[in-house]
Amino acid sequence: MQHFRPTPGRLVRTAALALALAGTTALVMPALAQSRDDVLVIVEEEGPATLDIHGATANVPTHQVSWNVYDRLITHARIQLPDGSWTYDYTTFAPELAESWEFSEDGMSVTFHLRTDAVFHDGRPVTSADVKWSLDRAVSVGGFPSTQMGASEMTSPDQFVVIDEHTIRVDFPRPNSLILANLAVPVPIIINSQLALEHATPDDPWALAWVGRNDAGGGAYRVESWTPGTEIVFSRFDEWKSGELPEMERVISRQIASAGSRRALLERGDADLSFNLPPKDFAELVEAGQLKVIGTPVDAELIYVDMNVTIPPFDNPLVRQAIAYAIPYEDIVGTAMYDRGIGMFGGPEEVTTTAWPQPSPYVYDLDRARALLAEAGFPNGFATTLSYDLSTSATREPIALLIQDSLRQIGVTVQINEVPGANWYAQLADKAFPMDIMSFKAWLNYPEYYFYWTYHGGNNTVFNSMNYQNPALDALVDAARFEPDRTAYEQQVQEFIQIAFDDVPRIPLIQDFRDVAMQPDIEGYTYWFHLTLDFRTLSRAD
């Protein structure tokens, strides 16, 4: 993890935010006290599409709402780093709404004991009936929430059993390594079921429409106001019992589309924190030294090139290997990403670790690439297209141009296809791109979970744009998900990673950084697997 901290110094702030740049919207905040000591101002590229993570339109900012407005039964412990920031500990779990829990002797159920003093934002006590209704909802609404719950075999409401008002049991068909981990992600939120049911209809029994526009939680923050596309304001819930009361009384998140404007607001001191700036901006902010920049390698994540194995000539493994040897890896890390990440290339030929991600054995070697193309029957190359999501063009465009130029040198003519962000996932799901630049971040830091989502042919999710189906790999991934013996587990993981590298339907490029820039007096930042902010731990230095 890389951390950059300028010389501490408290910035003087005004009570209201001024116009940031000519041509940008004035950041008119609700009336504040004379000091911003208890108010955090965030500038983000986009806001939530819905307040309900179970909704079909939920986006990444919705995950941030989920994390701060709702409780889950459990969470992860945190580890403090030398610079004062924090990271989550994926191996250790901590109480949230549940004070304690225990497994059955056979490992097929977990019983949770809820806090008896927890209340929702409207003051109603939280009970195990709310927990059951919420978990029933998560496994029943379909789409991403139900798929996420199913990753640890939570698929039926029958698995959630109320014991008494503050005790609930979760049953599983067999033990698996993801039982607790999958209850600590943003999806299994605990909803005020009575409040939600007041707004349910026969066509919407889970009140998705109402919860998508309203706060039905009991977490550390409540939604004070929301103007979609412009601003969302959170206020601290002082009756929160599931952790230490946050220091920030209010959090104001403003949506500013322009990365340049967000950077300017930070540099002027009119905003406290931002992320999702281009790598170039973070590299320059580090060099300037006026803001605190924390860059964390994103665990269980890769930026990669996928080749669709059902579209010739990528149905030929030799062609795929040739492309892997023609990728200008170092230029991508240095030129496209400004060194804001770790190159995933040049690893050993034989996989000997379960770490994921890990470097593939491929390196930039045009002579070897040409030889493999010739062996595959394409001595003069071929023509293809390389697609990417236009909304990610700050990094994807330079990567695409570098790849295009390099492949030209082995006779492969690449046409770059820029797909509007609104259409990207629909087209990705069609699995019609010959090649694409994509990334995937797994919430759970387990290699078998990553491969379950992205390589597993039985699932063949939208994230498997390779259209890759290998029964041997699938069997190893499935076995690893439920393997109790550590030695056998490690062997299974190494074998499916080896298959992925040998077949190379996907070319790993880089494990990039989760970069966050903030004012020097902001403390308590925590890197979380879901890549959104935890308001609960943020504070200002005295």
The DSSP code sequence of 222-289 is EEEEEETTTEEEEEE-TT--SSPPPS-SEEEEEE---HHHHHHHHHHTS-SEEE---HHHHHHHHHH-
Alpha-helical runs (H) found in 269-376: 279-288, 317-325, 329-331, 366-375
Positive/negative CA dihedral, 311, 316, 319, 324: positive
229 phi-psi bin (left φ>0, alpha ψ -120 to 50, beta other) = left
Distance CA 176, CA 311 (A): 36
DSSP 92-146: EEEESSEEEEEE-TTSSEEEEEE-SS-B-TTSPBP-HHHHHHHHHHHHHS-HHHH
pLDDT for the residue numbered 81 = 87
Q: Compute CA distances 78 → 88, 268, 483, 529, whole Å.
A: 4, 32, 27, 12
pLDDT for the residue numbered 161 = 98
Distance CA 195, CA 207 (A): 10
pLDDT for the residue numbered 35 = 58
pLDDT for the residue numbered 30 = 43
Distance CA 396, CA 421 (A): 12
91, 115, 111, 110: which is closest to 152 by C-alpha?
110
For 316, the token pair is 């030929």
Q: Helix (H, G, I), strand (E, B), or coil: what is residue 427? A: helix
171-189 pLDDT, tens digit per residue, is 999 999 899 999 999 999 9
- Which of 473-476's residues contact partners 24+ apart within 8 Å by CB, and which partners? 473/499, 473/500
Topology of the domain covering 2-291+519-540:
D-Maltodextrin-Binding Protein; domain 2 (3.40.190)
pTM equals 0.90
Residues lower than pLDDT 70 in the chain: 1-35
Q: Where in the chain is the domain with CATH 3.10.105.10?
A: 301-513
> Check: CATH 3.10.105.10 for 301-513?
yes
Q: Exposure of 302 by Cβ count < 10 A (0-12 exposed, 13-18 middle, 19+ buried)?
A: buried
Q: Helix (H, G, I), strand (E, B), or coil: what is residue 20? A: coil
Q: Where in the chain is the domain with CATH 3.40.190.10?
A: 2-291+519-540
Q: Exposure of 454 by Cβ count < 10 A (0-12 exposed, 13-18 middle, 19+ buried)?
A: buried
For 42, the token pair is 């965030």
pLDDT for the residue numbered 14 = 34
CB atoms within 10 A of CB 421: 11
Beta-bridge partners for 303: 439, 510
For 410, the token pair is 């082995």
